[in-house]
Amino acid sequence: MRLGMVLKPNARVDERMGVLNPACARLQDGTLELYPRMVAPGNVSRIGSFGAHERSDGVLEVEPHGFALEPTAAYEFRTKSGGYGCEDPRVTFVAALKKYVMLYVAFGPQGPWIAAAVSDDGFHWRRLGLIRFEDSTEPFADKDAALFPESVVSPDGVASLAFYHRPTLKISVARGEGAVDVLEALPERRHEGIGIGYVPLAAVRADISALCVVRERHLLSLPPATWGTIKVGAGTPPVRVAEGWLSVIHGVDPISHPDGATRLRYCAGIIVHDARHLDRIVYRSRDPLFVPELPSEIHGTVGDVVFPTGIDRRDERTFDIYYGMADYSIGRGRLTLA
């Protein structure tokens, strides 16, 4: 169920081009904080911080708290055209660390790459650096990172912190919708999909910077569905439900427009992992949870996009989902599990 638009750009130069794809977190006092990507001219991205309060009539009021992160690290800058900065955060409170962890996309000299930051209170953030994969010497574009809130056992039997990520083809970064024909022609095994990385918990407890060093990883194999035929990627951080680990993810499909062009549509759907074995997907919604339908989801900076990034538990079976609308504004919906 859609609950309406939450945020859209105003006249301020640092958000004029878009306010989108927010993380969210419940703070220690129970209040809700939103962390949207805010885009300035030149496609320069910052991560904002907004307090959110739901009125008795269900309308969500937001109050700006400044920026959680602005591009200051070398890996968040580049001189090439096409923009730079801090993009698409996801925030998870990790009880084992007693910290909020933000995974976000640092768009810098080598293109998009996952970076991490931590906070004790959800307001003041400290960078840890770029995520590194021990089994890889070649850099690759990577996006859509979201951390599980509890430790899990890795495939090698190590108590670990796990996170989603999406190794991304260079053609997707360079050409966007211009790569539709190439992406459609790829064999299914080469489609972009969700990976899971594992970081040993003991190492992170000894030194928080170890959160950036990934010891194990694998790709997920998802059951077939009517959506996500070109690629799938992480959406919201996973949450624990009776059936396992639930996440609202995004999928990308080709659609034909009236002008005859083939374009990409971003929709949202559900997956559930086995509670103990994250590589086992016990459920994938056959059809999308929701697709672009509203004018604000169809028309924007990039049209035909709903992009889930934030999830707020309201009770054991009810969650609010925060999502980007056409890469320009933010919407909210409510998911109730049977």
Element (H, E) at 252: strand 244-256
**Can you give the residue range of the structural domain that contains 82?**
71-336
Q: How many domains is the chain built from? A: 1
- DSSP percent split of the chain into helix, strand, coil, nearest 5: 10, 50, 35
Q: What is the pLDDT of residues 78-101, one digit of tens each?
A: 887 779 999 999 999 999 999 999
Residue spans of the chain under pLDDT 70: 137-139, 169-190
pLDDT at position 143 is: 94
pLDDT at position 24 is: 98
CATH number at residue 113: 2.115.10.20
The amino acid sitting at 231 is K
Q: Is residue 28 part of a domain?
A: no
Q: Is residue 66 part of a domain?
A: no
What phi, psi does 245 have (nearest 5°)?
A: -105, 120
Beta bridge partners of 69: 47
Q: Is residue 54 part of a domain?
A: no
Q: Is residue 34 part of a domain?
A: no
Is residue 8 a contact partner of residue 16, using CB atoms and an 8 Å limit?
A: no
Q: Is residue 2 part of a domain?
A: no
Q: Is residue 147 part of a domain?
A: yes
Q: Is residue 141 part of a domain?
A: yes
Q: Is residue 7 part of a domain?
A: no
pLDDT at position 190 is: 58
pLDDT at position 192 is: 86
